[in-house]
Amino acid sequence: MPVRFHLNHTDRNTRARAGTLETPHGTVQTPLFMPVGTQAALKALHPALAEQIDAQIILANTYHLFLQPGCAVVARLGGLHPFMGWSRPILTDSGGFQVFSLPNKEISEQGVEFIDEKNAKSVFMGPEESIHAQNDLGADIIMAFDECIPYPATHEYAAKSVERTLRWAARSLSAHQNSTTQALFGIVQGSVYPDLRQRSAEELVKMNFPGYAVGGVSVGEGHDLMKKAVEYSVPFLPEKKVRYLMGVGHPEDILEAVERGMDIFDCIIPTFLARSGVFFTTTGKVRINKKSYRKDRYPIDTQCQCPTCTRFSRAYLHHLYTVDEPLGKTLGTIHNIHFYMNMMKQMREAILKNRFTQFKQQFLQHLNSFRADTKGN
């Protein structure tokens, strides 16, 4: 089997888990956050710097690479790892989320037809096309092609979508050609309906995937319903297989999902906000474009040991963003990814000590205190 998950410990008071995930390109520790390299690159960041701040897995986007440069091109160049100069594990999504967010798409039992916005040409993607593309890309973990429906959706439509996604999951398994080197994960759907989440999870488990994702979140349902979607899914997933919550990246959301038994996460939030000059700190967010930072000699976060905080001041970063110097985006991205990696490391340590609840409370207390102090600024 290309991946092996070892459940090291479950917090005594919650469902929070600490695990070890073995992949062909290295072993990683969970809970885990994956930075997103949509176009086979972490925007503004050299892979060596990503390794230095301990990014364990990078997510790349099948939909975008399918269109440019083409997955067959990447395959001829040796696959994603040499193509993007990244030696550690990679996960590719199926492209389903991006495809189903497009306007004027046509969904059929075979798959989805859509228009490539760059050249106005018609493109088709179904389970077979998605899996063959991911086989070409060569990531350690790949995802079954699923229908990711928006929120809100009626129970009737969500039920039909779950059945289609289950059929597509079976087709994804049949199409998968590299089962000894790439782990194919199934994706639980069902919107916010408990019966549909249960059916989706139970039927996927029968297919015996090496790992399972909870999808259909971060589509407009909000924080509380995201928690419900996890609660409706987790009890029906195998305890000794890894669980991936797709597209969730706010620290508060990650904490709630870890508490409910999820293991790995991905989102563009830390890198996207870094390029906008918004940095995560142990006391909340810092917006570096504020005039109050123009002469501030302190680092972004006085408690942070990332390469940005140990060398540069808020005043310097304020200057870089003010003049739109690309180095600012690089330094901000370094800091935000380091913040997430450190947050997950501390979370794991708390789980191993049966102190996850205390960690969560302290983290949120600092965050809420910062928000109260800066309200209206």
pLDDT in tens, 98-124: 888 888 899 999 999 999 888 888 999
CA angle centred on 319, ends 317 and 325, rounded to 5°: 85
Q: Which residue do the tokens 């594990």 mark? A: 89
User: Annotated catalytic residue: which of 11, 93, 140, 301?
Assistant: 93
User: What is residue 96's predicted lDDT score, i.e. its pLDDT?
Assistant: 84
Rounded to 10°, the helix 194-206/155-175 angle is 10
Residue 22, helix vs strand vs coil: strand
Catalytic annotation present for 373: no
Residues paired with 214 in a beta bridge: 188, 245
Q: How far apart are CA 247 and CA 214, in angstroms?
A: 10
Count other Cβ atoms within 10 Å, centred on residue 222.
12
User: What is residue 368's predicted lDDT score, i.e. its pLDDT?
Assistant: 67
369: pLDDT strictly greater than 80: no
What predicted TM-score, i.e. pTM, was given to this entire model?
0.96
Q: How far apart are CA 108 and CA 126, in angstroms?
A: 9
Over residues 220-245, the mean pLDDT reads 97
The tens digit of pLDDT for each residue in 304-359 reads: 999 999 999 999 999 999 999 999 999 999 999 999 999 999 999 999 999 999 99
User: Annotated catalytic residue: which of 140, 253, 263, 266?
Assistant: 266
Catalytic annotation present for 266: yes
303: pLDDT strictly greater than 70: yes
User: What is residue 220's predicted lDDT score, i.e. its pLDDT?
Assistant: 92
63: pLDDT strictly greater than 60: yes
Residues paired with 60 in a beta bridge: 92
User: What is residue 42's predicted lDDT score, i.e. its pLDDT?
Assistant: 97
All structural domains of the chain, each given as residue ranges with its CATH number in brackets, are 4-267 (3.20.20.105), 278-374 (no CATH)
